[in-house]
Every structure is written in C-alpha cells, then in structure tokens.
Amino acid sequence: MDPITDIFRTLHVTAFGLHRLEATAPWGVKQEERTEDKVTPSDKEMPPTDLAHFVMLSRGNCWLSVEGIPKPIPLTGGDCFLLARGTLIVLRDSPRTRPRWSFREIGAKANNNVAHYGGGGAPTTIVCGSMSFDRASLRPITQLLPSFILIKAEQARTLALHDTMRALASEMAEQVPGSEIVATRLAEVLFIQILRAHIASGPERNKGWLRAVFDPQIGTALSAVHDSVNTPWTVESLAEAAGMSRSAFAARFKELLGQTPLEYVTEWRMQKAMQLLEQRDKKLIDVARSVGYESDAAFSKAFKRVVGANPGEYLKHGFEGHGNAGTAEAF
C-alpha cells in the first residue's frame, strides 16, 4: 500500500461543505481567522477536523491574494487550488475591490448549496468546499501538506483531472437527485488529483512529507513501512529497502521528515492502533500484534509514551485531550 492511500484511509479523509458561489462584479470574499473548538468530555465520538479547503473556478476570472505571497494571483476558468487549514486568502473580481463577505457567510447564505453575491457585473462561478478527517491524529495531517497548492488550467495535464473538474461543476450546477453524494465523491477524487498534479509539476516544488513520499529512495522505505507496519523494522532494514547506507538514509530521512525513521514507524504504528482500538472488536493483544508488538504490555507502554494515555484510558475518555480534535466547519 502506498503511503498516501494508507494515510487517507486510516484518517478517513472526506469532503464536506460543498457549495457554489455565483458572483457578479464587484465582489470580494475573504477567509476569516478562526478559533479552535475543543472536544468536551461528554463527546462520545471524535468530530470531524478540517484538513484543507479547495476552490475551483468553473467560469469567469478573479484575483486571489494569499497570506505570505506578495502579489495577487490572476485566476481564470479551469484553475483550482488547495489551501491548508489556517492559511488566509481573499478572492475578488479586482485587486482594488474590498472584500465584504467571508466564506463562512457565503456558506450560511447558500440556498440549496448555491450563494449569489455581487454588484450585477461580470459573472464568476466558484465551487468550493472542505476536506476533513474524522479521527485523532498524532501528527496533524495538515503538517503533511503544503499550505497552498495552485493548479492552473494549462498545468492540469491529465484528462482525468479535467474530467473530474467538469463533472463536479456540472453536479454543483444542476442539483438533481443524488447530486450531493456524487459531488462529495468527485471532490474527494479531485483532492487526490490536485495532489498528483502538484507532485508532477516538479520535485523542487514539493516539500516535507510529499517530497519524501516521491523521493525514489526514501519513498521506497515509506512504502515498505505503510505496506507492512507490523514488520520489525530497524534503521538498517529500512536503509536496505531504500538502497542506501544506514548513515546516509538516516540523515536524508530526518532532513525530509523532521524525525528519525524509527520515530516515524512508531508514530504510524500508534496511529493505526488508534484506528483499531476505536473499532472495539479486537482484543488488545491482537491490536498489538497487528502493529508489530509481541506483547500487549510492550504495546501499551509504547502507546502511552506516544499518545499520552494507555489504550484503556484513550478509549474511556473518548479521545479527550489526545490527537488533533476540533470541530469542522464549512469553508
């Protein structure tokens, strides 16, 4: 199993909050800063946590201002972008237009997932939504993704990406029976395809985890870990899988991922264990063996060291205080 598939399945990444904005010039929309919502002790299940937002321009033109990027970016029909949680942006018909609505207000005012806004001038159609994961994350998945990914229409080389964008725009425009579930699935597909297009645009644009996954050598080792998390991995065996010397592998791994190979292995084992524990249909020893431990005592000790609670405490308190809990809201 490749690392992206494993992580997205384990963390249950899904789309939500899809809506369409029909804007007419002049118009301007901003993303508000937000405060974190905390999980209360009475919560029985982990609420969704927003991972990233996506915006697709299906008609017209506009300007995008992104926190940390000095100049506004012109967008045209067929352009799309991903935005990590917490990255602030402004979309508007002109760099001179003052944004008066927030994306949250747009979502709240949407009727049948469609919002109309603006002064009656040139039209622009925008499809936007959010991606979420619904379980505790030891290393918030937001740290795995770049803060901003822009895919211009001419850059989206694959027919599959173009087809998905057209299909999503169509579902959001027609609102026929079943459109909501179809649009949600298409948004999830689009999310992965945008990541692929970003990766294909050149290794120099990838950083951190994405760069590591597609590094010919480190990526091979990561794939081995995700394909067989219960293997008794050592730095030596991972270096051998990568076709590198032990020292060179350890240094390169730390450079790309910011942690040692065995820290990564242990952390992902605990992430998988959290998923298995939440199913509540397995004995502790079976969970332990599934993630590479021969005894439940050794597993419990490692689990408490990484997660901050032993397996029983983790389940008893409904994930309170562990992981990256937070309540998701539409973009």
Do 199 and 242 belong together in one domain? no
- The model's pTM is 0.76
Do 299 and 197 belong together in one domain? no
CATH number for the domain harbouring residue 220: 1.10.10.60
Number of domains in the chain: 2
Q: Which residues of the chain have pLDDT under 50?
A: 35-48, 320-329
Strand ranges across the sheet with 73-76: 73-76, 61-66, 89-92, 28-30, 101-102
In three-state secondary structure terms, 130 is strand
pLDDT score at 177: 86
Answer with the one of 166, 186, 206 that is the final residue of a domain: 206
pLDDT score at 326: 36
- Within a domain: residue 3? no
pLDDT score at 320: 46
- Within a domain: residue 138? yes
Per-residue pLDDT tens over the stretch 97-114: 999 888 888 778 788 888
Do 44 and 192 belong together in one domain? yes
- Within a domain: residue 6? no
DSSP state letter for 111: B
Full residue range of the structural domain in which residue 202 is found: 13-206
CATH number for the domain harbouring residue 77: 2.60.120.10
pLDDT score at 145: 74
- Within a domain: residue 322? no
Using CA atoms, how far apart are residues 294 and 305, in angstroms rounded to an integer? 17
Using CA atoms, how far apart are residues 296 and 302, in angstroms rounded to an integer? 10
- Within a domain: residue 55? yes
Do 158 and 83 belong together in one domain? yes
pLDDT score at 261: 96
pLDDT score at 204: 54
CB 81, CB 12: distance < 8 Å: no
In three-state secondary structure terms, 219 is helix
Do 100 and 233 belong together in one domain? no
pLDDT score at 44: 37
Do 160 and 281 belong together in one domain? no
